[in-house]
Amino acid sequence: MAAGISGLGLYHDVAPLDTVRDAELRIKPAQGFAYARGLKDCVITVDEFAAACHSQPIVFARGAEGKFFAAAVLALPDSDNVFVDPGSGHWRPGEYIPAFIRRYPFVPIMEGDRVALGIDRSYAGLSTEEGERLFEDGKPTAFTESVLRFMMEFQVAWDRTLALAKVLQMLKLLEPFQVTARRDNHQQVLDRLLRVSEARLNKLKDKDSLRLIRNNGLKLAVAHLLSLAQFEKLERYSR
């Protein structure tokens, strides 16, 4: 079986929050990460590379709009997210939790040059009776303001991630690769993945190497390459 980065997310019914329509809306936090059990991969930002490279493989892929982005691989093609315990729904202790998953059910929505706060209205923890209020007297609560700050930080980091991927592609450092693993006595293949070519990285001209170093690109490329050893963990955790 062959599979690449799906690009599929957790969200099913995203809409911006509105101070009038959602005046009485409250939210209860998710108990565990069962909502991410079926997620095989998720986007990841450069701000997370250093922490995530010890847990998940970080790869690059090309999106539908032709933009290159970074993703954390969370499962083999025939398995669910190996970092979520199928019984308790808890995340595996000691393993990194990507910000894309931690931010659920919220999502940043770009409205021109500003970041608006969106939410997945299919999230089961929404009600008008229990949980944290999202608005009070027509204004965002302190809780909502903190979520919005997190969304803005995520969006800035995501823009830096796209910029890094673009530079890596412009320097012709990205190459296709695939990973073969075994689960339940049959072979599985993850393909349509991109990684930094070590051979090309070592042959970079001095001016291009300096450009990467000054933009933290070299450090991030190394973290990405180190993370590829975590594919073995996906196979081990899926047994």
pLDDT at 206: 95
CB burial class (10 A; 0-12, 13-18, 19+) of residue 190?
Answer: buried
Confidence of residue 5 (pLDDT cuts 50, 70, 90): low
Reported as a single tens digit per residue, the pLDDT across 192-235 is: 899 999 999 999 999 999 999 998 999 999 999 999 999 999 99
What is the rounded CA–CA span in Å between residue 159 and residue 165? 10
- Of the candidates 134, 117, 118, 110, the one whose C-alpha atom is nearest the C-alpha of residue 29 is 134
What is the rounded CA–CA span in Å between residue 122 and residue 14? 8
Q: Is the peptide bond before 176 cis (omega within 30 degrees of 0)?
A: no
Considering the chain, what is the average pLDDT of its residues? Answer: 93
Reported as a single tens digit per residue, the pLDDT across 118-170 is: 999 999 999 999 999 999 999 999 999 999 999 999 999 999 999 999 999 99
pLDDT at 97: 98
Mean predicted confidence (pLDDT) in 185-190:
84
Reported as a single tens digit per residue, the pLDDT across 15-68 is: 999 999 999 999 999 999 999 999 999 999 999 999 999 999 999 999 878 899
Tell me the helices (H) and strands (E) count for the chain, helix number first: 7, 14
Mean predicted confidence (pLDDT) in 88-99:
97
Say if residues 93 and 130 touch (Cβ distance below 8 Å). Answer: no
Q: What are phi and psi of 232, to 5 degrees?
A: -60, -35
pLDDT at 189 over 50: yes
